[in-house]
């Protein structure tokens, strides 16, 4: 039928009012799971082996610090941990030497090889800690040393022509030795852990646990845990760094049952039931270091070396070092202050 000019105008007006249908946004396709059996073997799983070969070539760094009063068996325990003479005593330390009047830091490096894997181990000892009558602020040299290692790493990292592999001297783990009094933590213990738990991974250890009965040891462990909780001191593994439920379950068990590890160290071997064992000889028998019914040394070794060594390094890098780095760069407007030496290097690089 014939449409007059009025109808044509109405249609034009309606077409202006009705918006054009919008195009639907393009939704990205979900990655499809490809059945490798249908298409044959690709070889993606070899990436693990490639990584293993690469890391075995370069080796590993691990820096462990031991802190505690003299006579608690720090050197012996570290030697027992790595089944090597890695303590300061094996590096020319004489018993005749007097206790330092201030806290000294002694770092001794070793290369340990096992199963083709090389590890550059550095043991940082702190002779003189807690040995004076007045121990006020005696943790300051230790805190300064830890921060100096972060600073050294940061300076290497911000260089224009930086090294492909920056030497890592940062402290990955601090074993803090608690005296086996059986009563409670000393104010010095609490102050040290309060100040340093924010800058380094602290693992509390009850030294010379064979001086206590099994009941005393259990009670003392519970008391120490309670005191650390009341004072808001977080030791490694910290709750907020658990990555998933599996980690949380495993670490909760360590935090609630094992910490602090009650240990006995010894680098002497004895014959027990036809086996050679590390132990300490007493008038009533031999305390076997690696026997869990005697002490928790095996738990500590497994924790530090066999299950959490890589995590200790990662928490040091991603949490403690990053916190230091962010604060340092923020305080100095983005870069560490330039010394004459770094200025010359900067100019030569340019």
> Mind listing the pLDDT tens digit for each residue in 96-119?
556 566 678 888 888 888 888 888
Q: Are 286 and 280 in contact (CB under 8 A)?
A: yes
Q: Which residue has the higher pLDDT, 311 or 275?
A: 311
**Average confidence (pLDDT) over 25-40:** 61
Least confident window among 65-69, 92-96, 301-305: 92-96
At 15, list the tokens.
């077409």
- Helix, strand, coil percentages (3-state) for the chain, rounded to 5, are 45, 15, 40
Helix, strand, or coil (residue 88): helix
Q: Could you tell me the pLDDT band of residue 350, with boundaries at 50, 70 and 90? A: very low
pLDDT tens profile 147-194 = 999 999 999 988 888 888 888 999 999 999 999 887 888 888 899 999
- pTM to 2 decimal places: 0.78
CB atoms within 10 A of CB 233: 21
In CATH, the architecture of 57-330 is 3-Layer(aba) Sandwich (3.40)
pLDDT higher than threshold 50 for residue 125: yes
CA separation for the pair 140, 64 (Å, rounded) = 18
CA separation for the pair 90, 212 (Å, rounded) = 29
Q: How far apart are the first and last CA of the chain?
A: 85
Length of the chain: 350
Query: What integer pLDDT is reported at residue 137 of this predicted model?
Result: 82
In terms of Cα–Cα distance, which of 236, 176, 165 is closest to 205?
176
Domain boundaries, the chain: 57-330
Q: How high is the mean pLDDT of the chain? A: 80
């Amino acid at each position: 039928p014939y449409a007059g000019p009025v109808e044509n105008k109405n249609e034009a007006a309606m077409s202006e009012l009705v918006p054009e249908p919008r195009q639907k946004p393009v939704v990205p396709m979900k990655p499809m799971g490809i059945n490798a059996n249908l298409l044959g073997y690709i070889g993606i799983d070899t990436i693990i082996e490639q990584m293993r070969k690469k890391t075995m070539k370069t080796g590993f760094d691990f820096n462990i610090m031991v802190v505690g009063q003299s006579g608690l068996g720090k050197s012996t325990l570290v030697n027992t941990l790595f089944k090597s003479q890695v303590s300061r005593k094996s590096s020319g330390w004489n018993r005749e030497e007097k206790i330092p009047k201030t806290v000294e830091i002694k770092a001794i490096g070793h290369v340990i090889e096992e199963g083709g894997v090389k590890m550059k181990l550095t043991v940082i000892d702190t002779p003189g800690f807690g040995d004076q009558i007045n121990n006020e602020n005696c943790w300051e040299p230790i805190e300064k040393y830890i921060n100096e290692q972060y600073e050294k790493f940061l300076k290497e990292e911000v260089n224009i022509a930086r090294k492909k592999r920056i030497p890592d001297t940062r402290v990955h783990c601090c074993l803090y030795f608690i005296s086996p009094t059986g009563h409670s933590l000393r104010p010095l213990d609490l102050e040290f852990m309060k100040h340093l738990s924010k800058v380094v991974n602290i693992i509390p250890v009850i030294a010379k646990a064979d001086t206590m009965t099994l009941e005393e040891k259990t009670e003392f462990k519970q008391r120490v845990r309670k005191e650390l909780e009341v004072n808001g001191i977080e030791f490694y593994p910290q709750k907020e760094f658990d990555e998933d439920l599996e980690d949380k379950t495993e670490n909760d068990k360590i935090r609630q049952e094992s910490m602090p590890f009650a240990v006995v160290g010894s680098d002497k071997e004895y014959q027990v039931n036809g086996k050679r064992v590390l132990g300490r000889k007493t008038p009533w028998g031999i305390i076997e270091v690696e026997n869990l019914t005697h002490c928790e040394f095996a738990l500590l070794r497994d924790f530090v070396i066999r299950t959490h060594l890589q995590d200790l390094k990662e928490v040091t890098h991603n949490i403690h070092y990053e916190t230091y780095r962010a604060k340092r760069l923020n305080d100095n407007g983005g870069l560490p202050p330039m010394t004459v030496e770094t200025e010359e290097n900067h100019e030569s690089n340019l």
